[in-house]
Structure 1
């Protein structure tokens, strides 16, 4: 609900504070700008430049829901939640910050964020995504989530030093903005796919692989804004996927834009009923410089 997190939201045009109006059907800023709240409960907070990207379409969001609901990435979820818990334990006192505020960038349907909120008493979350289709799910994923459509590459509609932990799961980052909005002692938890991630599906389906040097580029982009806060953790685990899960995994990924549904169905025919694949990712923790 947006009312739970209104004190950390900011006008994307000028950074001034927002408040609810007309029973939270609108958000209005101190400078007089007004932003309508969609009937599904999310709000679009974009600067004057508007949203330059579309994000996931409805089919990709449905596929993401299908795949994640089966628990295939549960170890990733537990690792992200555990890192956030540890970061909060080391940075804040529950007496001083009874309601730690979490932000997930590229939150999708809220699968990761809702799990973290369930695991951290009193926490509240801002889920940010650029896709309206994802935001409709995000707004309903947890009673303590506020869903915001915004572009991570623009100025984030978040007030200075208001976020205790930021999570980024297979999503873009904006180090300068993360530095600005992190509260003292706050951390950024980043999960990045690594070489070998689901490679067993690459050759038979002809889908995209993981780009090389993703972590190195992250640290290059973060220089001057964020620095390493803890040793990285490499995660790898096997997953048994049936054909429905394989189709959903491809449909929720960037490969969905490169393979037609007909071509994917033809390639899927040649696969066994179940396949064992391996997930690979690296978890990094960063703090403001």
Structure 2
């Protein structure tokens, strides 16, 4: 709920603290700016230029919910939650604390909800640019508050407010992440690796994974964040039926350019073995 995280949020106009109005319909900053809380429970915190990107559409969000509900990416979910627990342990965060976990590009809240279940008492901030995502995200977990904002801009959270930041197949803003991390805090990043879902590439024409993603991650973070240890490779096979395959493609950027997805999926075998590949990387504030 937004009430649980309002003390870490910031006015996107000037960074001042926010508080709830008496009737809990708005967030009001110390400098007098006001932001309406949507009836679904999320708040949009953007600067004067507004949102420059729409993010995932309602159809993409529905596909994401359908695919993730099948548990196909469970090893990814477990790896992210485990990494968050390791970060909190390494930072010696007390068991009775209420650490703040920010997920950037949180989508439907599937990953963040599982992490909050794993970390007793943690508070989650789910940030996404898509209002379609926010409608699901706001109700994904009782200890999760949802914010619509652009991760490429100034993120509307207060300095040194986050114990962990997680980013799962989503945009990264290293300068802002470094500003938001508490001492000992880290960023947990899951990036697709070469060969991810390759079995679907030829028959469906989905977008391939660019080479050198880890190198680009390191270069992008330089001066703000530095990699902790070695990236962890993750690889597992999934048995997907046509419904799951259509949902997986429908939730991805490929959905925007494949106009005949249903016809292509119909020509596939009833089930396919598809390999998921990714790297999990932890980063700390650069010294």
Which TM-score band applies after superposition, normalised by the shorter structure?
Answer: over 0.9
1:218-271 CA distances to partner (integer Å, 9 max, x unpaired)? 1111100000123210000000000000000010000000011xx111111210
Q: TM-score, normalised by structure 2?
A: 0.98
Tell me if 1:277 matches 2:274: yes
Cα deviation for residue 146 of structure 1 reads 0.2
Q: Structure 2 CA distance, aligned partners of 1:89 and 1:268?
A: 44
Runs of 4+ in 1 over 3 A off after TM superposition: none
* 1:125-136 equivalent positions in 2, closer than 5 A: 125-136=124-135
Q: TM-score, normalised by structure 1?
A: 0.98
**Which residue of 1 is the match for residue 22 of structure 2?**
22
CA offset at residue 21 of structure 1? Answer: 0.2
CA distance in 1 between counterparts of 2:33 and 2:19 reads 11
Give the structure 1 partner of residue 77 of structure 2. Answer: 77
Asked if 1:145 corresponds to 2:151, the answer is: no
Q: Is the 8 A contact 2:196 2:277 kept in 1?
A: yes
Give the deviation of 1:23 after TM superposition: 2.5
Partner of 2:49: 49
Distance 1:93 1:199 in 2: 40
Q: Which residue of 2 aligns with 1:268?
A: 265
Counterpart in the other structure of 2:200: 201
1:93 Cα deviation (Å)?
Answer: 3.1
Cα distance in 1 for partners of 2:238, 2:10 equals: 41
Partners of 2:127 and 2:247 lie apart in 1 by: 23
CA offsets 1:112-134 (integer angstroms, 9 cap, x no match): 00000000111010000000000
Structure 2's unaligned 5+ residue stretches are none
User: Which consecutive residues of structure 1, in runs of 5 or more, have no partner in the other structure?
Assistant: none
Q: Does structure 1 conserve the Cα–Cα contact (< 8 Å) formed by 2:168 and 2:191?
A: yes
> 1:86-165 to 2 correspondence within 5 Å?
86-94=86-94, 98-165=97-164
Q: How many residues get paired?
A: 286
1:49 CA drift (Å): 1.7
- The answer to whether the Cα contact below 8 Å between 2:242 and 2:266 also exists between their aligned partners in 1 is no
Residue in 2 that maps onto 1:235: 234
